[in-house]
Amino acid sequence: MPTTHTDELLAQVAALPPLPGVYRYFDAQGVLLYVGKARNLKKRVSSYFTKQHGGTRIGHMVGKIARLETTVVRSEAEALLLENNLIKSLGPKYNILFRDDKSYPYLKITGVAARDGQGSVPGQCFPRIAYYRGAVDKRHRYFGPYPGAWAVKETIQLLQKVFRLRTCEDTVFANRTRPCLLYQIKRCTAPCVGFISPADYAADVQGAEALLRGATQELLQELERRMLAHSERLEFEQAAEVRNQITALSRVLHQQSVESLSDKDVDILAVKVAGGRACVNLAMVRGGRHLGDRAYFPVNVENAAGVFHQEVEEEAGTAAQAGCSVEAQVLEAFMAQHYLGVPVPPTLITSEPVDPRLFDALSQQAGVRVTAVHQPREQRRAWLEMAQQNAEIQLARLLAEEGSQQGRTRALAEALDLEVEGLDQLTIECFDISHTAGEATQASCVVFHHHKMQGSEYRRFKIEGITGGDDYAAMRQVLMRRYSKVAEAQREAGGAEVSDKRVRLPDLVLVDGGKGQVSMAREVFSELGLDISRIVGVEKGEGRKVGLEELVFADGREKVYLGRDSAALMLVAQIRDEAHRFAITGMRAARAKVRTGGSRLEDIPGVGPKKRARLLQRFGGVRGVADASVDDLATVDGISHGLAEEIYRALR
């Protein structure tokens, strides 16, 4: 046995029971090294301390073990779920970890509880379809999850073509006196001005829900019955409207080139490993429609590989041998961690064979039978091949772009699931407040797009009419001044985005601050009727150390820590620091003008930045320098007697 381990630790290992459970290794500083599961704790943990591992990665890990913790569970399924809960929450160094805490977007249909037309709020009689991300409210219906914002918005456009449901905010809906542009282009039935009855609108909502569930044939049959019923009652205009819906629906279904009538909810998972990095590509089929995919990139792949192979050797039976490759290990880690917080569909198609016990655990957690398909046929095979190709492309792109500014932009767009036409078009605005003890409060707004800061588009806002030092009031004032025109332009456009960049809402609004500043920004955006999901706060981490910042969201998502080495966090920090610098320089200039009417030190030959800083530090400001004598000035490091006389004359 290795001599580096204490007798107490070895005695603890010897006393372990032969039961299923989870074990955790810590180093001497209390840092978590590894989390593992076992169906026989005694056999598995003992193997780490009885074998010689040499200079391998697992050998390095075992040499660091100073403390052990174990948890006994009732079954392997429970051990699997607990293991991945701990991995995801604690992030040990020698486990494969998918640091993706993004919540998935959903399509929301509002006002479900008031479909009888008796809602107290006007908008409740006419449910709205909307993009949604955040906590679920039982008063509404949610469909998804979707792989990205673009998939939700594409589905909304599809529903608008067929059923013409409203998408405007309730504040816009309640105050309209004439139809907006969406009615003119036949994307809305204008319920805001009474152009459709609540009953007819409710029928369209039910049709939209049927389409989202994948019940396309039943929906077509129901529409045909409604059309014939209108015809029999000689209601030819209504029959023509339903006929147009059938035509639009048939056209939409025909355009869906990747469609299946038998597979309604399926996830397709493909993995690619190269260059010490890995990519898992997840493609989603919902309601029979292929909605696209999303790539995930784990960390600690190389560290975890050696530990994994050690565990495979300890397992017995074909179940363990089925997934003994690094690719299978990465895929199993993704599935176990990903489906802890995301609903699992009844069918999973995988590029690698996966341990059947994993599916048993997922089934037990979901309460429904989850089946796996490793070698699919026909349409499913085409889906898997697409996912495999996308995994290869995404991994090659990651390896090529990692570390570049374009890579940082892409990393941030993926980390926050930002919906943009192209990375060059991604626009970010960041706000910061600066003052000295409440004096000369200024707010800064810096702008990032085309992968760089755009200095010509920076803005400063002089904050007035607030209590000195009230950063929340200052943030409220600057956001209201900046985005009130944006809200006005959107209202004039019927709630749609405008193309003019001067009054266009950026893709991301960063505020330098935590929950308090984010809550203030959310309040402003809610008053203006703007999209609160675009607000993100940059909260300083423990000890205010650089690299430990967390992102705070206004739309209900949990805080996210991207990681010290995250390219996305590097870009966020770059933009945040630029906003802080711009605010500080503006505040200092304003403060100098307030106190002295403008500093004249800059105009004195021979007084550069360093000497000016020493003078201001010694005498407490420009006024103190002006009151100082020649002898006093000459005592400052770097100031000769002759230069002191010039300073004395210049300031008097």
Q: Could you read off the pLDDT of 15-72 as tens digits, one per residue?
A: 899 898 999 999 888 888 899 888 889 888 888 888 776 666 778 888 888 889 999 9
Query: Tell me, what DSSP letter sits at residue 260?
Result: -
3 state DSSP class of 467: coil
Indicate the average pLDDT of the chain: 79
What confidence tier does 524 reach under pLDDT thresholds 50, 70, 90?
very high
Those residues whose C-beta lies under 8 Å from the C-beta of residue 495, and which sit 6 or more positions away, are 167, 168, 169, 172, 180, 529
Architecture of domain 265-401: 2-Layer Sandwich (3.30)
- Paired with 270 in beta bridges are 281
The pLDDT score that the predictor gives to residue 215 is 66
CATH of domain 599-650: 1.10.150.20
Architecture of domain 415-591: 2-Layer Sandwich (3.30)
Q: Which range is least confidently modeled, 100-109, 168-177, 242-251?
A: 242-251
The pLDDT score that the predictor gives to residue 591 is 56
Instruction: Over range 122-147, report the average pLDDT.
Output: 77
Nearest CA-CA partner of 165 in 114, 111, 129: 129
Nearest CA-CA partner of 534 in 109, 144, 133: 133
Instruction: Over range 447-455, report the average pLDDT.
Output: 86
Burial call 380-404: b when 16+ CB within 10 Å, e when fewer? beebbebbbebbeebbeebeebeee
The pLDDT score that the predictor gives to residue 479 is 94
What confidence tier does 429 reach under pLDDT thresholds 50, 70, 90?
very high
The pLDDT score that the predictor gives to residue 121 is 54
- For 52-110, the DSSP string reads --TTSHHHHHHHH--EEEEEE-SSHHHHHHHHHHHHHHH--TTS-B----PPPPEEEE-
Q: Is the pLDDT of residue 510 over 90?
A: yes
Q: Where, residue-wise, is CATH 1.10.150.20 in the chain?
A: 599-650
Q: Is the pLDDT of residue 500 over 60?
A: yes
Architecture of domain 7-90: 3-Layer(aba) Sandwich (3.40)
Model pTM above 0.85: no
CB 84 within 8 A of CB 337: yes
281 exposure class (CB count in 10 Å sphere: 0-12, 13-18, 19+): buried
Backbone angles phi, psi at 39, to 5 degrees: -85, -15
Q: Is the pLDDT of residue 424 over 50?
A: yes
SS (H, E, C) 594-632: HHHCCCCHHHCCCCCHHHHHHHHHHHCCHHHHHHCCHHH
Q: Where, residue-wise, is CATH 3.40.1440.10 in the chain?
A: 7-90
Q: Is the pLDDT of residue 338 over 70?
A: yes
